[in-house]
Chains A and B, each alone.
Chain A
Amino acid sequence: MSIIETVNANQIEAQLREFIVENFFVEDELDATESLTDAGVIDSTGVLEVVSWIEDTFAVTVPDADILPDNLDSIARIVRYVTGCVGA
């Protein structure tokens, strides 16, 4: 990952953490690799909220086939997915 990519990934993670704290009423103490579903942070409706946040914030469309735990079930995975979508 280049320096620019790292900076952008850090910015995305900061935005994401702010969204999660404000939207799911949790403290910002989540480990980046912790499962958001196992931790009880998001349920199936929460997944839709995360998808909507990605689409609205980064002006991308999340295809149905991408709505997978591999892409969306931790902060690190979401950051990686968004980074790939926006070509950061």
Chain B
Amino acid sequence: MENKKRYERPVVIKQYSGFMNKFGSRPVLNPVTTIDGIEVDELAERFGSPLFVISEKAIRSNQRKANRIFKTRYPKVQFAWSYKTNYLNAVCAVFHQEGSWAEVVSRFEYDKAKKLGVKGENIIFNGPDKSRDDLTVAINDGAKIHIDHFDELYELIDLTSQLNKKANVAIRVNMDTGTYPKWDRFGFNFENGEAWQALKRIIAATNLNLVGLHTHIGTYMMQADSYKTAAIKMAQLAAGLKRENGILLDYIDMGGGLPSNNTLIGQYLPAEQILPTLEEFADAISEGLMTLNFQPDEMPLLILESGRALIDDTSKLISTVIAVKRLSDGRRALIVDAGVNLLFTRFWYKHKINPAQDSGVMTEDTAIYGPLCMNIDCLAESLVMPVLKKGDKLIIDYVGAYNMTQWMQFIHMRPNVVMILEDGTVELIRKAEDLDYVQMPEVLPEKFKSLPV
């Protein structure tokens, strides 16, 4: 057996002329055989497939790079880790060790941050849904409450007077930054004066301590200029507060929305070629804030809640080919063991998918489907892939943002998640689900417990 040659499935491909676009098509031939120096096969053998693999080194490197880029442009910068992007405890802990605060949008996320040891004053509580009980906890902890609407504002006025405590608050401001779609469903509008109205109401309230302003202009923003527009408008509000009320804000929170290197569906060129760099976004934000013209010691802290730009490229999903099929039109199709229930971002992105083993030079136009018995479970409609066989592995790249929070137990259960630590050890950070875990919250009424079949 050992003297036999390596086998590759026989393939014939018809050549078409006259159909190529001017950019050609990029064959996916570069195998990704290791992640942070660990063999993909070894990881799959130890922890199974599919498997999410997160790199501690990459997270720290991304955060340090972002710190460096922003801190060399603006004097006071603080990052707050966006929990909803990836709230696995190990991931949040790495960001907190790197000095990030917590940015949460629900009580569940709030409690997660507290349990990890984040101090109340370092938790930013965003979002449109905060119950009276949630707000009570946040007030008692001294968390920064970012008010989304007038109902919340009046609830806070009532609550703080009942508790006889002060709340640290900011308002979320929405505005026209020249992008489409306009994000006006969160917070108070800048252009129509609603934001000013809310600020005045806060100033008039004895128990509300106005500490900052917050905005979040969109998601996967592709124009750095939009951030400059937003920063200028925030600076105008901050300057107005100083001029008219003598209030110096502790901070301006510019939110997140910075893109990762994933390419959007419908985007022609790869993301790397068309997106502004992090430096350009940092330039735009700091230039906008510098229009404040305050004394250096009066400048507010700049808070950033960047999520996907810091985590997306730190994680990969290992998947195994279950079957190789041919579609009715002759195209190749692969069925792999990772479906859209694990890869929610597949609905927005054309994910980068690479083989995890060396293969021949022949390529095929290939569709990649997940294991779910559902037509929506398609990971790629057409990729130029090498000739793969059952058991071969694929690496789906840039999966760190939103997948490990928006994934769902659907048809299949969620798999193991591991983190490769800086010293090269591999730690299981979330166990694969089993039937007992999934059924734990279910209650079967007594009369259904004995079935005749």
Bound together: no
Chain A positions near chain B (C-beta within 8 angstroms): none
Chain B positions near chain A (C-beta within 8 angstroms): none
